[in-house]
Structure 1
């Protein structure tokens, strides 16, 4: 009986210390995440301008306006295009780089660092650099083409609506692929080389080894990279802000950028918060679907 009481006291003491240990983090999380989240839900039903003390409740007017807004429809279309293209190309490039670095015998760490370097640098700074490179009038690319007498190949990458979104995609792939490369590289280094050697002895070529051995064993890394890539592409902002400012026209506006422009540029915090809520629900829905599909794929493999 005495032993049981001592065990109960020890358990209560352990629980008390655990609560005390977690309490500061819980308080901070509540103050900076939970409360602002519920506050944002409330503000999405108001016409608050973000400055005045007057917060007028307007019901679902923000969402009705959003539903009928061609600008929002265009931003949603651009967001989905960016998400689909970036998820596919970022992971394809990252996996190719990982397999390339994994095969390198000399200076492997150097190649890994070179490919990862863009991830470490500020997106704003790199955006300015790429703006200088792609500028139609005085850009580095334009000057190189002029020197080579290839002026017919000059394109207004950032000023033409047909190429502006492509420029954003190319820049984002270049900047982000190194991050996913590291994850794929860790997965590749966890695959026993004996499997590929045995398959090679049985007559399997490189493609067959990749399809039946490497790719299935990278299912976990593939799931992580696909999820991170999708969430990152849905929240893309800094490169658009620096390189195109949502233009020309509205050709490169995304949901995150229109939230910024409406909330801070047009002083419509209520409407911007409503857009933020829609973006949150979109990310949540796509994340749940993607996790379910990719987890099922892992099980099948």
Structure 2
């Protein structure tokens, strides 16, 4: 079999994956854009095209603005704190200390639990009177019965973000730890010979060589933050009020509770555009820094 025939034959192996991609990814996206300009309710197949009325309603009533602002706040906090804490934890776990394997396992354990299990566990931790936090506060002679972190409009979003950070910090730590273990020791030794202290070695040698790991972790964190749904839905169902209503929570509510599938599709299009735009910007900027590093 000559090379030309072999090359043509190899293309046929791509066809099954391409067909699945078109059916389960491209086609639903196209239908999403179609439904976003209709009054489709998700049940009756008859619907009418209404142009951009759904998009106008989203922004005029402040639905898109509130859910988008909640999602962006959630994402920023999650990206910053999860990566900073994971990086610090990776540096500690990379040291030669006793029971390192045990500590590494402990750091990764939260990642193994499903979102619904984590959500219910932390709902009990946050309970005002009998929760873990309220109990610990009472040990110090303080009144923890009024500390309702999930029931307060001002603290609910931040409390749920803390749960997301706790859940995913193990994955980020593993990625950073893998990057640290690829740092050439001869560069570290050369820095010590030149008189660099531990901070200077970390700042000018280890962290720049972690550029790829930082790119991976930040990109994954941005995507996870922008598509936040599990914990706001499980722990507060978007409340109190709309304090924790993210883009995906509002999409779910409109589509399956209020039977406004067309409006939900319009918000999904907005969410799709925001995720693509922000992720692309982050990836391009991080790739530039990775190349320069």
Normalising by structure 2, report the TM-score.
0.95
Which residue of the partner structure matches residue 211 of structure 2?
A: 219
1:27 matched to 2:27: no
Name the structure 1 match of 2:286.
Answer: 294
> Using the alignment, how far apart are the partners of 1:201 and 1:228 within structure 2?
37
Q: Which runs of 4+ in 1 moved over 3 A?
A: none
Q: Is the 8 A contact 2:126 2:134 kept in 1?
A: yes
State the match for 1:114 in structure 2: 106
Q: Is the 8 A contact 1:86 1:173 kept in 2?
A: yes
Decide which moves more: 17-26 or 95-104. Answer: 17-26
Picking from 181, 191, 194, the partner of 1:189 is 181
Unaligned runs of 5+ in 1: 1-8
Aligned to 1:76: 68
Match of residue 31 from structure 2? 39
**CA displacement at 1:266 relative to structure 2:** 0.6
Task: Report how far residue 154 of structure 1 moved.
Answer: 5.3
Among 50, 57, 66, the alignment partner of 2:58 is 66
Aligned residues: 293
In the other structure, the counterpart of 1:256 is: 248
Matched with 2:172 is 180
Cα gap change, 1:143/1:193 in structure 2, threshold over 3 Å: closer, same or farther?
same
Larger Rg: 1
Give the distance between the partners of 2:91 and 2:131, measured in 1 at CA: 33
Contact 1:157 1:164 in 2 (8 A): yes
Contact 2:74–2:158 (CA under 8 A) maintained in structure 1: no
Shift of 1:17: 2.5
Distance 1:239 1:80 in 2: 15
CA distance in 1, matches of 2:80, 2:151: 26
Residue 268 of structure 2: SS of its match in structure 1? helix
SS of the residue corresponding to residue 98 of structure 2 reads: coil
Q: Quick one: distance in 2 between partners of 1:153 and 1:96?
A: 34
1:274 alignment partner, one of 246, 261, 266:
266
Task: Indicate if the aligned counterparts of 1:164 and 1:251 stay in contact, CA closer than 8 A.
Answer: yes
Find the residue that maps to 2:40 and give its secondary structure.
coil
For 1:161-180, list aligned pairs within 5 A.
161-180=153-172
Say what the alpha-carbon RMSD is for the aligned residues. 1.5
Q: Which residue is 2:234 aligned to?
A: 242
Q: Write out per-residue CA displacement over residues 173-207 of structure 1, whole angstroms, 9 at most, x where no aligned residue.
A: 11111111111111100001222222123221221
> How far did residue 80 of structure 1 move?
0.9
2:95 corresponds to which of 87, 99, 103: 103
Residue in 1 that maps onto 2:5:
13
Q: Could you say which residue in structure 1 is the equivalent of 2:143? A: 151
Gap regions ≥5 residues in structure 2: none
TM-score (norm. length: structure 1): 0.93
Structure 1 range deviating more: 98-107 or 33-42: 98-107
Query: Equivalents in 2 of 1:261, 1:153: separation in Å?
Result: 31
Is the Cα contact below 8 Å between 1:145 and 1:154 reproduced in 2? no
